[in-house]
Structure 1
Amino acid sequence: MREQLDSLGLCFNWDREVTTCLPDYYRWTQYLFIRLFEAGLAYQKEAVVNWDPVDQTVLADEQVDENGCSWRSGALVEQKLLKQWFIKTTNYAKPLLDALQDLPEWYGVKGMQANWIGKCTGCYFDFRLKVNGEETAETLSAYCSSPEAVFGGAYLAILPSHRLLNGSSAVRPALQKHFQPGRDSLTEVVAHNLFTGQDVPLVISRKEAFEDYLDTVLGELLESVWANASHIHLQFIGGTFESDFSGLSREQGFEAITQKAVQQKVGGHLTSSKLRDWLISRQRYWGTPIPVVHCGSCGPVAVPEEELPVTLPKLSLTGKGASPLEAAHDWVNCECPRPFERRLADHWLPVDVYIGGKEHAVMHLYYARFLCHFCRDQGLVAHREPFWKLLVQGLIKGQTFRLAESGQYLKREEIDFTGKQPVALGGGRVEVTWEKMSKSKHNGLDPQEVVQQYGLDTVRLYILSAAPPEQDILWNVKTDTLPGVIRWQARLWQLVTKLRGARQFEDPPNPSLLKKKELAEAKKIWQNKNYTIQEVTAHFTEDFLFNAAISRLMGLTNTLNSATARVLLHSVEFEEALAALVKMAAPMAPHLASELWAGHPVLQRGGDVLQQAWPAVDPQYLEAPDFVELAVLINNKSCGTVTVPLQASKDSGRVEQLVLESSIGQKLLRQRSIKRVILSPRTALINFLVDE
C-alpha cells in the first residue's frame, strides 16, 4: 500500500506512520482499557450478537446482508447471547452533549452527534439482585426517566428478551419459574436499590419493547401523583422514607439526587434512553487482546501496566471454525513499556484536523471524544476535546450492476450493453446504480490503471475539482471536469512557455517602459494575485474546498493568459503572479508544478517548487484604500469606471448619486429613464437598468 500511495504522488512523512496492529501502538490501547477498567467504566455482560455458525465468529451489522446472511460464508446469521466487554460511555453522555456547544460547526456532524446522544434527562441506578433473601453476583442498571422520583420506585421491570431470562445468569431459573408470556409476571427475585437501600420486586413485563433501546426500567408506584407534584414526597409501600432530599423542589431534588448517586458510584450520570454503552468485544484471533486475567476466585483482574502489551500467541490459522485461541494455553510476558508522558500527549492534542466520513460521525468520533473526556478526568491530557476541525469526506462511488430478481452483483464483462437497456449475458434484467466501491460489488477501480491512462496529476486534479470534499463523486471520466483540468494544465504550460520565449533574447525587464494603460493592467494582475492567494489559502486551511481553490487558480491563469506582450515582457507583477500560481498548484499537481518551476530561470528561486514557502498576501493589499474603483454597467454592458469613497461604496443611494454626477453619468444616463439600480454586495460593480 505504501508503494501505491507513493506512486500517486502523496507526500507523507513515513517516520510518523502509526500502525495500529503493532504492539508498540496497542499497548497504549490496553493501557487506556486498564484505566477504564479500574475506574469502573469497562465491564462484562451477556449481549445479543450476530453469529456466523459456519465461520464461528461474531459479525458487525454491516457484515450481514439484506437477506440476513453472512457477507463471507453466506450462512444464515443467528442471534446469540455471548459474554461481551462494554465501555460505559453513557456516563459521559451529558458532558459530551454539552461540549458540542464549544466546537465549531462540523458539516452538520454536531447535530448528528447531538441526535445520537439524545436529551439527557434521565439516568441509571444500580440494583443488586437477591433470590430467597441471598445476594447474587448480578448487578442490574435500570433507567429512570425522572431521577428525582427514584424514591417512588415500586418495582424493576425487564423485557421477556432480557439476558437474565435467556442467558447463563444464576437467576435465570427463578425468573423462568414465574414467567407467563403475555402477562406482567411478578417473580421471587428482589432488586436491592444501592442508592435508596430499599428492596423492590423484579417483574417480567408483558411488553415486547420499552422506549428506545431500554430493556430494564424502574416502575413508579404513584405515577399520577408524580405527574402533578411540585415537591418531592418520598413515599413507599410501607410509608414515608426519611431522607436528606425531603422538601426540595423537583429541580433541586433532581440535581441533589443525581450528584449523590454519582458520588456513591451507584449511577446518577445523566444520559438518554436511546444511548447504549459501547460494545468492544471481538471474537477473532487478530483483535487486540483485552488485558484482563479471569481468576476463578478473584474474578477479572487487570494485567499490571508494566507487563503490557499483552500480545497474541503465534498459532496455526485455518480461517475456519472456532477461535484458535482456545488452543493457546500460555501467554508470554512482554518487555516493560516506557511510562505514559503527559507532555507528549499535550503536544499533539487537540488534533488540528480529523478526517473521516459521516459514517463515523456518531460512532468512531463519538467514542474518540468519550476517551479524551475520560483521559482529561484522569489527568492524562489537558484538553477535553480531541479534535478542533473536522473534514468530512465523501465517497468515490462506482457503477454497480445487479440482477433485478436475485440482487446478485455482476461484473461489467457479464453484461450486454448493445441494447437500449443493459441485460445480463445469461439473461435477466439488470439494475444500474452508483454505490461505494467494493470488491464484492465488482465496482472497484485500480488507481494505477487510471493513472497510466490519464496521468497522475490529471487524476489528482480531477478528484479534487469534481466536487467539494464532503460530497460523493460518481466516478465517470466522461464528464466536463476531466477535459477542464486537462485544458488548465495545458494553459499553465503555455504560460511558462510564453514567458520563456519573451524573456529569452530580450534585455532584463524594465517596468519604467510600461505606459499608463499597461501599468493599470499590471496593477490588476497584482490585485488578482493577492486575491487568489487570500482565497486559496482560506480554502486550504479553513473550509477545505479544494474544488473552489482550483477554480480560483484557473481564474488567475486566465488573467495571466490575457496579458499583453509588453506587460509580459516588462512587468514584475506578471512573473510574481505566475510564481505564486505555480506554488499554489504544487500541492495538488506536484509533478507538473515541479516541471513548470524548472522551466524558466525567473521561477527558479532556491530549489524545487515543493521547497518554497507558501505565498503570502502583500501587506499593501491588506491596507484599506480611501477610494474604490467601481465598474459601471448599463443594461449589463460595461461602460467604464467611477472612483467613489470607500465609506460610501456599500451605500446604494450614495453610490448611485455619485455615478450620476460623474462624467459617465452625465454623458450616458442624464436623458435615460432608470428602472432599477443594482449595487453588487461582493464586487465593486453597479448596474443601471434603463429603458432602451
Structure 2
Amino acid sequence: MEVTTCLPDYYRWTQYLFVKLFEAGLAYQKEAVVNWDPVDQTVLADEQVDESGRSWRSGAVVEQKLLTQWFIKTTNYAKSLLDALADLPEWYGVKAMQANWIGECTGCYFDFKLKLNGEETGETLSAYCSSPETVFGAAYLAILPSHRLLHGTSSVRTALENAHQPGKDSLTEVTAYNLFTGQDLPLVISQKQEFEGYLDTVIGVPDSREEDLCLARVLNLKWSTVLKNSQDGAQTLINSAEFSGLRREDAFDSITQKARQHGVGAVPVEDLPVTLPKLVSISGKGASPLESAHDWINCKCPRCNGSAKRETDTMDTFVDSAWYYFRYTDPHNTNSCLKVLLSNNDDGGVAVTCWESADHWLPVDVYIGGKEHAVMHLYYARFLSHFCRDQGFVAHREPFRKLLVQGLIKGQTFKLAKSGQYLKREEIDFTGKEPVSRSGDELEITFEKMSKSKHNGLDPQDVVQQYGLDTVRLYILYAAPPEQDILWNVKTDALPGVLRWQTRLWQLVTKLRGARSLGDVPNPSLLKKKEQTEARKIWENKNYVIQEVTNHFTEDFLFNAAISRLMGLTNTLTSATVRVLQHSVEFEEALAALILMTAPMAPHLASELWAGLSRVQNPLSSLLQEGDVLQQPWPKIDPEYLETPDFVELTVLVNNQGCGKVTVPVQVSKDLDKVQKLVLDSELGQTHLSERKVKRAILSPRTALINFLIDE
C-alpha cells in the first residue's frame, strides 16, 4: 500500500479531520509567541528546535515571533490519553515520557470574551481551570506578565500596561465573559512568572485552592460558594445552574463534556479538498497570478453566501503523518479518509457510517520508529485515534498495539578539546592504542548521531564491500537490542566475530555433505546408547532454540538474543561426534532449522547454505526440500517436546567435582544467569557455594549440567 501525503486525495481528508476538530471545539486560533524559522518562513514546534536553538530542518537560529495561529486543543483528551497508557505494554520508556508530557489531567479550558468598559473587544481568551466542576465559583482570570495581551497588538494592551505593577498581583479594568457560565470576571495580571510550567492563563476559584482564596481576598473580589459538604463526607455542587446537586466527581464529567466550543464557518466536507489556486502566467491569456490569488482568498462564505476570506494558514506535515495508519487500510477510497462511507442525507447534511471491515486491520500490530517521536508524532497519532473513536470512525482508541523503538547507530566523533572543532578521519592517527590528533592537539572522543558536519558518518557501501551485506545486517542486529544505540567504533567493531559465525555455518553444511559422500548409507539404528543420548540433546536444543527465536522474532523483537541462540545451536552441532553427524536425523533437522531461522537476517548466505543442504546425499529428513530457503516453512516445535516434563534435573559441579542435582524449569534451563541464581538460592547452593566466591559458572549447551569455578 502507498499513500502520498502531498496529493489532494490525501490531504483532502486531513482537511476533513481538521473540520471535525473545529466542529468539536478542538481547533482554535489565538495570538502567541512562536518559534519562527527565518529561512523556511514557518512556525516550528518546540520538538523541532534542537538543543542549540536551531531549526531541525534548515539549521537556522530560531526566532521568537508573535503570530496569530491555529491550535489543536489536545488537552481535552489529556485524561483519556493518560488513562489509556495503563492498558499498553511497556514501550521502552515512551509511556513514562508521554505521561510526563501530558502531566496531571484534572482540568480543562474555558473560553472568555474580553471586555473593556463593558464593551466586547472582539478577542477571545482561553483559560485553564484545574477544577472545572467548580467553574461557577470563579472569582477572577489571571494572566502572566509575559502574556501576548501585554506585548502584542491587543486592543486592551494599554489598559493592561497601565494597571500592571511588576512584582504584584495587578487588578485591571479588563473583564472576561465566560461563554459557558455567562459570568463576567475581572482580569488580573499575576506576579508569577509561570503557571505550572506551560500555562499562560488560569481561572482563580477560591473554593478549590487556598492560593486562589488568598488572592481573591487581597483584591477584595466577589465570588459564589459552589461546594457543600454532605454528611457522608462527599462534596456536592451548589450555585452552579443545572449542575447544582451533583456530587463533585459526577459534576466534573458533566461540565467537561458540555464545556465545548461550537464554531461556525467551516468548509462543508463535501467541498473538500480546498486546493491552492492555479496561477496563470502573466504572458498567458486570462487572469493574472495576482488576480487569481486575490479571487481565491476573497471568496463567498460556504454557509451564508456572504463575503469571506479564505484561511491561508497550512497545517504542518506532522498532522498528515498523525493519521496515515488509517489511510493505509483503504488508500484508494475516494469517498472517505478511512474505512468510512460518506453519503448525503435528505436534509443536505453528511451522514457518517462505519464500514463493517473498518477495524479489520486496526489497531496496527507493530509500530516501528525512533524515540525522538515519543512526545510529538506518537502523541498526536494517539490523540487523533482517540478523537476518531469518539467520532464513531473506528472502534478502538489506541492506534498501535506494540511499539518497537529503534536506537541510533552513533559514529565515533573527534573534536579539538579547546575549540570544539570537529575533525575529519584523515586528521586522526589510528595507528596507536588510542586515536590521536595528527596536529598533536588534545582530542575529545565521543559517540554522536551521524552527521556530515561532525564528520562521523560512515558510507554503508564501504562496509558492505569489505564484509558483505549479510554480515553488516547481522552485526547491526547482534550488536544491541533494537531500542539501544550502537556505538560504531572503527577500531574495535565486532564485525569479524559475526563473520566467523557465518563461516562456521558454512563449515557445518560442508561437513555434513562430506560425511554423506563417503558411501556409507546413514542408519540411525547403528548409533550406540551414548550417541543416541547425544542426538537426543541435539533434538532438545533444536526445539528450545526454535521456541526462543520464534518468540524473539514475534514478541519482544530481541534479535540480538535470537542470534545468540542460533550461535548456541551452532556450537552444539559443531561439537557433534562423527557418527551422530553421519547417522542421525536429529543433526540434519537441527541444521535445517538453524539455516531457516538465519534466513530472515542473512538471506543471501542462508540461500547458499540451503542450496547445499537440500542436495545432501541420502537425506534422512523430509525437511530437506529443494527450492529457495525463503520458500520453506518456518521450523515447528516437535509436539513431543511440548509434552516433555516442565522441569529438568540439573547436575551441579563445583570445580569439576559433582555435588548433587537441582531441579529447574525447562524454559530457563539454557539461560546461564537464571540457572545460576536458581542453584545459588537452592539448599544445595547454600550448602556448597554460599561462603565461596564464584569466579565463573559454565552451563553445558548439550547436557543438563552447570559447573561452578570457585576460589579454594
Answer whether TM exceeds 0.5 for this pair: yes
Name the counterpart of 2:148.
163
1:566 aligns with 2:579: yes
In the aligned structure 1, how far is the partner of 2:210 from the partner of 2:569?
73
| Corresponding residue SS for 2:595 | helix
- Compared CA separation, residues 112 and 557, structure 1 to 2 (3 A): same
1:254 aligns with 2:248: yes
The amino acid that maps onto 1:380 is F
Specify every segment of 5 or more residues in structure 2 that has no aligned partner in the other structure, as ranges: 215-219, 237-245, 281-288, 300-331, 340-353, 617-622, 670-674
- Compared CA separation, residues 256 and 126, structure 1 to 2 (3 A): farther
The Cα shift of 1:688 comes to: 9.1
The CA deviation string for residues 262-318 of structure 1, in whole angstroms up to 9 with x for no partner, is 243258xxxxxxxxxxxxxxxxxxxxxxxxxxxxxx9974333334344456789xx
In the aligned structure 1, how far is the partner of 2:192 from the partner of 2:690?
74
In the aligned structure 2, how far is the partner of 1:516 from the partner of 1:261?
79
- Does structure 2 retain, via aligned residues, the 8 Å contact 1:194–1:266? no
- Compared CA separation, residues 498 and 474, structure 1 to 2 (3 A): same
| Corresponding residue SS for 2:568 | helix
Name the counterpart of 1:321.
none
The Cα shift of 1:406 comes to: 4.8
The Cα shift of 1:74 comes to: 6.9
Percent identity over the alignment?
72
The amino acid that maps onto 2:537 is K
| Corresponding residue SS for 1:599 | helix
1:616 aligns with 2:616: no
Q: Which has the higher contact order (CA 8 A, sep 6+)?
A: 1
The amino acid that maps onto 1:155 is Y
1:597 aligns with 2:610: yes
In the aligned structure 2, how far is the partner of 1:404 from the partner of 1:691?
45
- Does structure 2 retain, via aligned residues, the 8 Å contact 1:656–1:677? no
| Corresponding residue SS for 1:391 | strand
- Compared CA separation, residues 410 and 48, structure 1 to 2 (3 A): farther
- Compared CA separation, residues 472 and 627, structure 1 to 2 (3 A): closer
- Compared CA separation, residues 23 and 471, structure 1 to 2 (3 A): same
- Compared CA separation, residues 59 and 409, structure 1 to 2 (3 A): farther
The Cα shift of 1:124 comes to: 2.7
In the aligned structure 2, how far is the partner of 1:442 from the partner of 1:365?
31
- Compared CA separation, residues 193 and 398, structure 1 to 2 (3 A): same
Mean CA deviation greater in 338-347 or 449-458: 338-347
- Aligned pairs for 1:572-587 (under 5 A) are 572-587=585-600
Name the counterpart of 1:194.
179
- Does structure 2 retain, via aligned residues, the 8 Å contact 1:583–1:615? yes
1:104 aligns with 2:89: yes
In the aligned structure 2, how far is the partner of 1:110 from the partner of 1:94?
14
Name the counterpart of 1:496.
509
- Does structure 1 retain, via aligned residues, the 8 Å contact 2:527–2:579? yes
- Compared CA separation, residues 222 and 594, structure 1 to 2 (3 A): closer
Name the counterpart of 1:319.
none
The Cα shift of 1:401 comes to: 3.1
What is the RMSD computed on CA atoms of the aligned residues? 4.3
Name the counterpart of 2:381.
368
Name the counterpart of 2:351.
none
- Does structure 2 retain, via aligned residues, the 8 Å contact 1:598–1:604? no
In the aligned structure 2, how far is the partner of 1:646 from the partner of 1:445?
45
The amino acid that maps onto 2:201 is T
The CA deviation string for residues 32-64 of structure 1, in whole angstroms up to 9 with x for no partner, is 222212211112222222224455343454665
The amino acid that maps onto 1:621 is Y
- Does structure 2 retain, via aligned residues, the 8 Å contact 1:126–1:193? yes
In the aligned structure 2, how far is the partner of 1:92 from the partner of 1:645?
48
2:193 corresponds to which of 182, 196, 208: 208
- Does structure 2 retain, via aligned residues, the 8 Å contact 1:644–1:655? no
Mean CA deviation greater in 506-515 or 455-464: 506-515
1:338 aligns with 2:338: no
In the aligned structure 1, how far is the partner of 2:444 from the partner of 2:710?
55
- Does structure 2 retain, via aligned residues, the 8 Å contact 1:676–1:688? no
Name the counterpart of 1:94.
79
The Cα shift of 1:136 comes to: 3.7
Name the counterpart of 1:547.
560
Figure out how many residues of one structure are paired with residues of the other and give that number. 616
Specify every segment of 5 or more residues in structure 1 that has no aligned partner in the other structure, as ranges: 1-15, 230-235, 268-297, 317-323, 660-668
The amino acid that maps onto 1:337 is T
| Corresponding residue SS for 1:348 | coil
- Compared CA separation, residues 125 and 472, structure 1 to 2 (3 A): same
The amino acid that maps onto 1:614 is W
The Cα shift of 1:573 comes to: 0.8
Name the counterpart of 1:625.
645
1:400 corresponds to which of 413, 416, 421: 413
- Does structure 2 retain, via aligned residues, the 8 Å contact 1:582–1:596? yes
The amino acid that maps onto 1:372 is S
- Compared CA separation, residues 509 and 378, structure 1 to 2 (3 A): same
TM-score, normalization by structure 1:
0.78
The Cα shift of 1:200 comes to: 1.3
The Cα shift of 1:480 comes to: 5.9
